[in-house]
Structure formats: structure tokens, C-alpha cells
Structure 1
Amino acid sequence: MSSPSGGVGARIAYYRSVMRPKLTQRQLAEAACVALGTIRKIERGERGVTDATLDAIADALGVDPARLRTDRAPVHTRVHDALPALSAAIAAYDMPEDGPVRPLDELQEAVESAAERRLAAQYTQIALELPDLITELARAYQVAPPDEWAAVVGFLVSACRSADAVAYKFGARDLSARLIDVMRWAAPAAVDPVLSASVAYVRTETFFAARAYSSGLKALHQALDAAPAPDRPSEIAARGSLHMRAAVIAGRARDTSTAMNHLNEARTLGDRVSEDVYCGTAFGPDSVRAHEMSVAVSLGDEHVSRALKVAEEWKPPKALPAERRSGFYIELARAQLWSGLADDAFESLKVARNIAPQHTREHPWVREDAATLRRLKRADSESLSSFAEWCAAT
């Protein structure tokens, strides 16, 4: 299928049709949270499209919004273009510019909306909206009465968590580290051990980025020592999430015994709560099962067969966040590639793309594995070549 040459509507229809599996207009509407009638009219060229709607549609399709406006691929995505504003907001977190501050309930709604976008891997909107929201929350912290400090701090940590997801996944590791520093600065003011545990979970990204796995494991052990006793669901989820994270980073350190001990602890805690307990990250029985894949792939070698067995026994349900589900198939693809199952690996990558296009496209393993698949299949199929170009595999 050749590249589209019509207007925005024609390009949306084109990219919807080349998704694997192909998206219907209704599926695109649901993924983008846009009315079905609006999608139909846009594709027929009967109505224009606002920037916000275009961003939502582009997120659902896993393409940069600029790609829907022109046939030429942009040098930088809109997410990358938005990162300097996010960096500026963080640089001035302790001396924000003067401006309005919305009531607490409106701030909470904005923060929760950003968290939902993060879990759905809709990064463009996060990147565009979070600089102003973080600045407003920093301003709110300065002017709020003491009895509102804990709530505002919680909102600020959550907003930075959403912003960090974008910075980390788009390769802005220094910005990610600064966002985590702000979270660590803010969290003690909330006097909430569950919130502190959530920040410790996110902090591990800095150790992953530096491949300082032993230090990361030590930091998580300290966080587990400080975490509250697992009595209430939120406390169980907080502690269980730390064990999940510790299992993966121990796997990266090739410490099999420690990885399995933490995974077993997470499994025990996961059996005590439902999957809908959310404390900064999703936790529950299904999240633990997804992390079994992560640990097996992190350990590698003889553990790869365990990764394949996990996929035979269990598939992530739709109730899990899109980011976590796509991550499962990205990791499965790597295990399949290592096992010589190239065709299966490509199928898993396509499933990941269908679940969370932006998350899949920006994942470094996807680029690496797509490039490897392309080399292994010297007679490149059109779909494999198209996929490799889509994720910029070299």
C-alpha cells in the first residue's frame, strides 16, 4: 500500500489500515477517546481536526501528529519538541512563576487524567500538558495552607511520575533523573510511607539507565525496610510493587536466587489484593505474572525457556494497563528471538504495537530486535520492512 497523498483524513485512514491487526474506525475512536462520528467525518474530509483531537488520534495510531499533516517524516516528534518546556518547569520547581492556581478537586482531576494517559501510553498529550501542570502544582504548594500540603505534594509527585514516563522512554535520561529528584524532594512533605515507596519504585529507573543494578537493588532493599507493614490494600500494593521491581533488577544483575525470592514475595502479596489496587504503579496477581516474563528475560540463558512457558500458560488481560501489556509482548519477542523463533518474535512485536503504539515504537529493544529480524530474513517481507521503518530500526 503506497503512502497517502490526500489530506489529514486520508492519512488517518491510511495509517489505520496498515496497523496489524487493522483497526476499524470504531476501534480507533475508542482508543483515541474520540466520537465515532467524528472519526468518520474526518476521514471523509467533511470536517477539520483540532490539535488536541489530532494528538489523540496520533497517539492511538502510534505516529507523530506531524506525520498525519504531511507525507514527510518529521526530524523530531512533538514529544521531543515539548521536552525543553518540561525541563524548564522542573528547573524552576522551587520558584515557579506567578499565576493562577485551580481548586484542589480540579488539580486532582488533571493529575489523574495524566496518570491515565501514562498507563495508556499516550505520551504526546502528556508532554504537551505536563509543563504547565507541574508549574501550577509547584505554585500551589507555595500558596496552599498547611492542611492542603499533603494533597498538593501527592499531586506533584504523580504529575512528575507521568512526566518521567515520557522523559525516560524518549531517551531524555538527565531530565528523567531531575524529575525523580523533585519527587524525592517532595514526597517527605506528605508524610506518607506509601507515597515514599512509590517514589522509590520510580527511582530505580536511574539505576536501570546506568546499569548500576547492585546499587539499585540496595536502594530497593532500603525502601522495603522503610515501607509500611502490608495490612491495607494500598500498603500491600506498595510493598508488592517494590518486590516486583527488585526481582527484575536482580535479574539484570544475574542474581537468580535474589530475583526468585523477590518474585515469590510479590506473588504472595499479589494473591492478597485485586488487580485494581493502584499506588503509583499497577499491582495485583496479573501484574506479578507479567513480571515473571520480565524476570525470566532479564536472567536470560537457561531461563528463556521459562519466559516461553509463561506465555503459553497466560496472556495479559485487557484490564492491565496498555503499557504493561505491550511490555509483556516486547519481552516475549526477545525471548522468542533468542530461541530461534523469528516469526513468532515478529508476531509478538506486532501485538505490542497494536496495544500501545507509542510505547512500542520508542522501546529500544523493539528497534534492536526489528533490526535483527530484518538481518535474519534476507528476503525481507514488506510487512517486516514496514515495521522496521516505523520504529526507526537500523
Structure 2
Amino acid sequence: MTQQELANAACVALGTIRKIERGERGVTDDTLQAIADALGVDPARLRHDRGPAHSQARDALPALSAAIAAYDCPEDGPVRPIVDLRSAVDTAVQWRLGSQYTRIVRDLPNMLAELTRAFHTAPEAERAELAQLLVSAYRSADAAAYKLGAHDLSARLVELMRWAAAEAAEPLLVASVAYVRTETFFAARAHAAGLRALRQAIDAAPAPSTAAARAARGSLHMRAAVIAGRAKDADAATEHLGEAEQLARAVKEDVYNGTAFGPDSVRIHQVSVAVSLGGDYVGTALDVSHEWKPPASLPAERRSGFYIELARAQLWAGMPDGAFESLKVARKIAPQHTRDHPWVREDASRLRRLRRADSETLTSFAEWCSAT
């Protein structure tokens, strides 16, 4: 990129870019984030004074925890009109889909406090919509907490999502929260219990009479297929994946109630299920990758997840060079999601032991994701 191209992509003045590169001025967090987004890298990679990986986002987690502790007794303060709150939450959802966890943990504490004030002081007619906005905001916060390894905080956020969804009295929203709740079972390795919870959610989900209802039910089946795979229940995984495929054929790929669903998402979950089952199923993951790649229209987190799962399958299949290439693609798509994924660290460590990739490049990658 030329300086002008970078300035255009980051929506930053050309003079600012020049002064930053010459060391004549500092850089604010917002400008750093804009430049990092334009380059497709994590902001920490651009700082000469950066400490250990993840520290900036993780240091902000206590503020997020404090914001949700007072969900039923918020402090007094300003509250914007509901149209402005809706716009702010939509932005937070895009941060989640784009794996921009640093922005989430930085800006969500104040947003959650304001939304909570709005909910408790709003007239009855507005409370349901504000509860829906709280669910979306909690989900964005949960994505950052879970990916950063703060599983206790994530579990608390999931419970608040369930509370807010009940206040919203929207069955499709309840189904989407059940999808997210599976994280707690993944974290606890309670796969059989997670599968039971998802089956209950599927039974309780609205009939698939609309695109949104089909997507809600199909997403639950996708999630059930993966957790069944983790439980090594191949029959259940195949059954749920088949149900998801059937529902996906009746909708277009899109984000429904905060969850991407459609034919492409189901195909990505085919890889996830194959990797979860392991053994003889790894070939399925490789077959999918030979025939298809996730389109750029899918959320960044989902696309990067595909390549992270594929890298693991390639390692198991004795393809270390391909695995490293897949990890690099995942990093390019969603740096923060990739860096904080435990499988990435495990696989980068294994690749270093195998010494099959260029040592300098692999060492740099391993240091970036804190692989041992």
C-alpha cells in the first residue's frame, strides 16, 4: 500500500499517516484500530511498546464484569433515544461478527450500563425492544469474554442473555440464546449435557414456517451436530447435520438474530463436525476444502474458524505445510479470533516441533499467538 492508499482505506488523513510513520506524532486508540483494520491485522502488531499478547483486551475485562454486576441496579446517568441505542448495538454486533474483541471490551461496559438504565426506566411499551438490545449487547460482550478465555465471565453473560430474552418474550431470541449457551458446555467439556440442552431448545423452537424460524432451528441443529461430534456420537452428529442441511436449503445465507446460517454456514460445520469426530472422519474435512472455500460475504469469525479447523485436519493428515498456510489465512481474515484460539496455539507449537515450515516465519507466528 502507498501512504495514500492506506489513508483512504483507514479513513485517516494522509498527513496524519505521514506524521505517524515519521514518528512526529502519537496515535490514538481509534486511529490505531482504523489503521489495523485497513491492514487486516491486530492493533497490537503495530505497537512497538506492546506487552504480552492479549493484554490490552484482557486488562479491560474487569470493567466489563463490573458493568454487568449492576444489571438490576444501574447507576443514574444519561440515556440516549432508543433509535441511537439501536444503532450503537448494531455496531457492536458487527464488531462481534468481525472478531474485533478489543473494541468490544473497550466500549461495551458503558454501553451495557446505559442499556440497563434505559431498560429499567423505560415505559412498558419500550421494554421488550430494550431487552432485545440487551441480549445483542450481552452476546457481543460474551464473544470477547469467551474467546479471551474468561469462561466464568462468559457464563455470567449467558445467564444475563437468558434473563433478557425472557423479558423480551421473543421465541426466536430464546432459541438464539440457547445456541450461544452451548459455549458453557464446551468450556466445561460437558458435551452430553450440552447435547441434551440443545435438543430441548430445538423442541421448544418455533415451527419452521418462516426464514427466520428455519434459521433459528437450523442453527441449533448445527450446534448440536458439533457438540455431538465432541461427544464422539457420530450418529447424532450426522442426524443433526442432516437436519441443518435440509433447513439451510430453504433459506439464503444471512445473519438471523445474530447467528449466521445458510448453506455456507452448514458446509463450514461439516468441517467442524469431522474434526470433532476425528479419526476416519478427517478426510471429510479435507474433501470439503478441496471443493469449496468460504466466501468473503460470510462473517470473519466464521471464515477464520473454517481455516483453523481445516489446519487441525491437515496436521492430523500429515500435511504440516498446508496446515500452516491455513493458519496464516485465518490470521489474515480475523487476527484477534485466530490469535486467541487455543487450537491455534496448540497447532503452532506442534508445527514448531515438526520444523516443517520456514523457521523464522513460523517462530514469528508462534510468538504472535503465544504458542510455547
- Tell me, yes or no, whether TM beats 0.5: yes
**Which AA in structure 1 matches 2:204?**
A
> How much does 1:211 deviate?
0.4
* Equivalent residue for 1:235, pick from 191, 205, 213: 213
- Matched with 1:9 is none
CA distance in 2, matches of 1:252, 1:305: 17
Q: From the superposition, tell whether residues 338 and 378 of structure 1 become closer, same or farther in structure 2 (CA, over 3 Å).
A: closer
CA distance in 2, matches of 1:370, 1:331: 13
- Write out aligned runs for 1:48-67 (5 A): 48-58=26-36, 61-65=40-44
Residues 164, 180 of structure 1: 8 Å contact kept: yes
- Write out aligned runs for 1:256-275 (5 A): 256-275=234-253
* Equivalent residue for 2:97, pick from 106, 119, 124: 119
Residues 148, 340 of structure 2: 8 Å contact kept: yes
1:389 partnered with 2:367: yes
Gaps of 5+ in 2: none
> How much does 1:24 deviate?
7.2
> How much does 1:223 deviate?
0.5
Deviation >6 Å, runs of 4+: 23-30
SS at match of 2:294: coil
> How much does 1:58 deviate?
4.0
Q: From the superposition, tell whether residues 362 and 28 of structure 1 become closer, same or farther in structure 2 (CA, over 3 Å).
A: farther
Q: From the superposition, tell whether residues 75 and 325 of structure 1 become closer, same or farther in structure 2 (CA, over 3 Å).
A: closer
Residues 234, 277 of structure 1: 8 Å contact kept: no
1:79 partnered with 2:57: yes
- Matched with 1:14 is none
1:252-278 superposed Cα distances (whole Å, 9 cap, x missing partner):
001111101111111111111111242
SS at match of 2:60: helix
Residues 54, 340 of structure 2: 8 Å contact kept: no
- Write out aligned runs for 1:161-310 (5 A): 161-310=139-288
SS at match of 1:186: helix
Residues 285, 310 of structure 2: 8 Å contact kept: yes
> How much does 1:292 deviate?
0.6
Q: Provide the identity percentage.
A: 66
**Which AA in structure 1 matches 2:134?**
L
CA distance in 2, matches of 1:167, 1:57: 24
Q: From the superposition, tell whether residues 341 and 106 of structure 1 become closer, same or farther in structure 2 (CA, over 3 Å).
A: same
The TM-score with structure 2 as length reference comes to 0.94
The TM-score with structure 1 as length reference comes to 0.89
* Equivalent residue for 2:110, pick from 132, 146, 169: 132
CA distance in 1, matches of 2:369, 2:88: 31
1:53-83 superposed Cα distances (whole Å, 9 cap, x missing partner):
2134346654454x64434534762111110
> How much does 1:236 deviate?
1.1
CA distance in 1, matches of 2:48, 2:131: 41
SS at match of 1:282: strand
Q: From the superposition, tell whether residues 355 and 155 of structure 1 become closer, same or farther in structure 2 (CA, over 3 Å).
A: same
1:368 partnered with 2:346: yes
- Matched with 2:292 is 314
1:330 partnered with 2:308: yes
C-alpha RMSD over aligned residues: 2.1
Gaps of 5+ in 1: 1-22
* Equivalent residue for 1:339, pick from 307, 314, 317: 317
* Equivalent residue for 1:34, pick from 11, 14, 25: 11
